[in-house]
Amino acid sequence: MNKHVLLVDDDPIFHIIFTRMIKKVYPELSVNSSLNGKIALEYLNTNYSEESQYIILLDINMPVYNGWQFLDIIKKKEIILNNNIIIFVVTSSTDLDDIKRAKSYSFVKDTLSKPLSVDSLNHVLQPLINE
Amino acid sequence: MSKDSLTLSILIIEDNLGDFVLLEDHLLEKFDAIQIFHEESFESAILTIKSDKKIDIILLDLVLPDLQGEVLAKKIQQNTTDIPIIILTGYTDIDLARKILSLGVSDFLIKDEINPEILYKSIIYSLERKSYINGLNKTKKTYQDLFNLSPQPMWLYDTSTLFFLDVNQAAIDKYGYTLEEFRSMTIKDIRPKNQIKYLQDSLAKHALTGSVGFAGFFTHTLKSGKNISVEIFSSNIDYNGRLVRLVLANDVTDKLEHTKKIEAQNVKLKDIAWTQSHVVRAPLSRILGIINLIELESFNSKDLPYLIEQLKLSGNEMDVIVRNIVNEAKLLNINESNNE
């Protein structure tokens, strides 16, 4: 099964940090970068395949579509029922309200706090990669 | 028969010397420790009354050379607030006696019928009655003072006409109207126009059901036109035989203002906390992320200059954010000192 990692974050530096880390730890994974929720949705609309596994790392505070808007839109899409999209909310916020809110979406697997370390990446990705 | 050892000073106002001597005899027969002052005219009696002599009771002949009858009784009474007066006269005019008694004179004795027993009984009875009435008046005054001198504005109004019946000094001071002005106004006249409906709803709920205690928060308008927020407590009371509403108004304008300010400040503090969590953490997490990456890629990475440049940018970004927070916190302090 094809595995795609989507990083949705408006911070280009975070993209650089993240892609380099992934390259080091999981060189076989391809990472797609979107700077906001709208771009990410467009990517899914054109590239989605039932045969693939999608791992989305989603930031909350972004322009255009923020993380919440992205979650609300994808919640209404049929593709989410296929269970091949796994979302992690990744935010620099340590606000408990944000964490609670993120966990209220059934398809949000977990919340991660920036910065992402190799350990936290392993913790999150390993079970999915080794499937 | 033993004499009464009560210490008494008695003023006898009597122009007929024979009658005076007889009265004196009667008194001395009954009392052991009395002092008697004798005056023969209204003018001289008044002088004695106004002097610093202590007088416990007055025996007054109703026919004096310079003043007689009802006018005499009235004038003596006006000058003696607490001293009981017993009227003496040769007249057997019951109507005049009644009339004078209704003025507040203690008793009425007909000269021809006076004997030591009657005189003694009348004096003791008058003294006792007077002290009882004084006690009652004192209690009444205490309760009136509780209303009049209360530091909180209070008033009474008629529940059917809504007219003010009485207001205390604190209400006069707070609202700026005189007692006379208040009495020509209804309780609607101290409200802004847009509060009349609210008042009527509240009256239906509280005044007309006779509920006791907290009646709600209201806006009142002072004579100056200024609006204040008040907390109202009320209850029904009996006032001179009719059922009226007693109201206590507590000005909470300052308290509410203060609460509003604190709430506004809380919003600001929450904003700052939100900023801490969301905005400050963004560059900070980037800095930590870059450090993670440098560790991962080893320090001789060719991208090191680029990553260090990013560290610097993020550091500067954080510096600006922290400065902004400090400024906002300072603004809070300035608001505080302005408010005082």
* A81-84 contacts at long range (C-beta below 8 A, 24 or more positions apart): A82/A50, A84/A50, A84/A52, A84/A53, A84/A54
Q: Determine whether the interchain pair B310/A113 forms a contact, defined as Cβ–Cβ distance below 8 Å.
A: no
At B233, is the secondary structure helix, strand, or coil?
strand
CA torsion B310-B316-B322-B324 (nearest 10°) is -120
Strand partners, B229: B219
Q: What pLDDT does A18 receive?
A: 87
Chain B residues with beta carbon closer than 8 angstroms to that of A92: 278, 281-282, 284-286
For the four alpha carbons of A124, A125, A127 and A128, in that order, the dihedral sign comes to: positive
Cβ–Cβ below 8 Å for B296 and A20: yes
Of B285, B293, B296, the CB nearest to A92: B285
* Rounded distance between C-alpha atoms, residue A131 and residue A128, angstroms: 5
Burial class of residue B106 (count of CB atoms within 10 Å of its CB; 0-12, 13-18, 19+): buried
- Measured between alpha carbons, how far is A126 from B320 in angstroms, rounded to an integer? 38
Residues in chain A where the model's pLDDT stays below 50: none
Which residues on chain A place their C-beta less than 8 Å from a C-beta of chain B? 11, 13-14, 16-18, 20-21, 24, 61, 92-95, 113-118
**Interface size between A and B, measured as CB pairs under 8 A:** 59
Whether cis (ω within 30° of 0) applies to the bond prior to A12 is no
Q: Do A116 and B286 touch (CB under 8 A)?
A: no
Question: From the CA of A47, how many Å to the nearest CA of chain B?
Answer: 30
Q: Can you tell me the ipTM of this complex?
A: 0.76
Question: Of A93, A95, A118, which has the smallest distance from its Cβ to B296's Cβ?
Answer: A118
Query: Which CATH superfamily does the domain covering A3-129 fall into?
Result: Response regulator (3.40.50.2300)
- Amino acid symbol at B257: E
- Quick one: DSSP state of residue B194? G
**How far apart, in whole angstroms, are the C-alpha atoms of residue B137 and residue B143?**
10
Q: Are A57 and A17 in contact (CB under 8 A)?
A: no
What is the pLDDT at residue B339?
45
Report pLDDT for B92: 67
End-to-end CA distance of chain A: 9
**Distance linking the first and last C-alpha atoms of chain B:** 80
User: Which pLDDT tens digit goes with each residue over B119-158?
Assistant: 999 999 999 988 888 888 888 888 888 888 999 999 999 9
* pLDDT < 70 regions, chain B: 1, 91-93, 298-301, 333-340
Cβ atoms of A75 and A105 within 8 Å: the answer is yes
Element (H, E) at B272: helix B253-275
- Is B26 within 8 Å of B114 (Cβ atoms)? yes
pLDDT, tens only, A43-78: 888 888 888 888 899 988 888 888 899 899 888 887
Cβ atoms of residues B107 and B88 within 8 Å: no
CA dist A18 and B290 (Å) reads 9
d(CA B81, CA B83): 6
Please name the member of B278, B288, B297 whose beta carbon is closest to the beta carbon of A93: B278
